[in-house]
Structure formats: structure tokens, C-alpha cells
Amino acid sequence: MLILCSGSQTRALLLKKAGIEFIQKSCDFDEESIKTDDPYEFVTLASYGKFRECLKCFKKENVIAADTVVSDGKQILRKAKDIKDARRILLAQSGKEIRIITAMWVRYDFQIFGRIDETVYEFEKFDEKDLEEYLKSGEWKGKAGACMVEGFCKKYIKSVKGYESTAMGLCVEELLKIIGGKNEY
């Protein structure tokens, strides 16, 4: 049994789909305290900060904490603050190559594992009307880079290198290797 230290419905769905038993609990960590423009450093520090807080809350349980960011190669595209910010962030991805980077920390059988995975997407240019409908739907809320590769962005994928699960917030394929689950996801 794992404790998923995250409020993310998408991460919970990934674990369910993989057949991993878990309980979902959150521990607070202030990501805004991280001061870096490097997406790899940011995601590592954010996920490790969450992990440390989880270890304080859950002393003996198997735990996992993760964080995900989107980068257009120039900047970190974080969670949008509002619809205007979501539009700006999504337009920075339209017709471009982006990197979705997920870091996870796992304590399993009292061993600690940490890793960073990334999935690189090249997107076609987003249709303006379709983008506006997505923005109005609010589905982008709480998503790194306002990006949903399993939803809105899926039809615009020109090429992909990496796992979709990484882009969705948790590299299940690598997690299964850590916890000794099935070899294929």
C-alpha cells in the first residue's frame, strides 16, 4: 500500500489504472518559496519538499510525492493563475516543442528513490476557437502549463518522445519498477 502525497486526481487515476493500491493524502509545501528559473531544478526541489513533508506526516508508510512542470525551453510554464494566464501559457506551447518534466520521490520498504523523467511533445498550432472553448471549460485549472495531453492538447500532438504518464504527472512505468509491480503498464 502506498500513500500518494498529492491532491491530484490525475495522479490518482494513473495509480488506479496501473492497479496500485494507495491512499491519497496531502501534506502542505510552499512551492512559491522555490527561487529558480531552471525547470529541472524547480521540479526536483518542489517534489523533494513535498516528500520531506510527507515523511514528517507518515513515519513508517510507503509514500510517493511528485511534481510536474512544463517548459517551452525558455521558461517554466507553471499552473495558470487565471484564464488570461492560461491563454498566455498555452499560446507559448502552440506550434512548438515543449518538455513536460516530472520528478518523484518514493519511500518503499524504507528505501528512498528519486528520479526525474521528461516527455517531449511537438504540437501543431492550436486552433483559436478550440483554445477558447478549452479555456472556458476550466479543465486547465490545476494543470502544469494548463496542458492536458490526454485531453485538449492530444489532437495537436505532432510527435512525442517519452511516456504519457510522465506528462500526466507521475511516471507509472518507472514507479512499477521501483515497487516491483508488473513490468508493463
Point out the residues that are catalytic: 67
As a whole number of angstroms, the distance between CA 83 and CA 158 comes to 25
Write the secondary structure of the chain as one string of H (helix), E (strand) and C (coil): CEEEECCCHHHHHHHHHCCCCEEEECCCCCHHHCCCCCHHHHHHHHHHHHHHHHHHHCCCCEEEEEEEEEECCCCEECCCCCHHHHHHHHHCCCCCEEEEEEEEEEEECCEEEEEEEEEEEEECCCCHHHHHHHHHHCCCCCCHHHCCCCCHHHHHEEEEECCHHHHCCCCHHHHHHHHCCCCCC
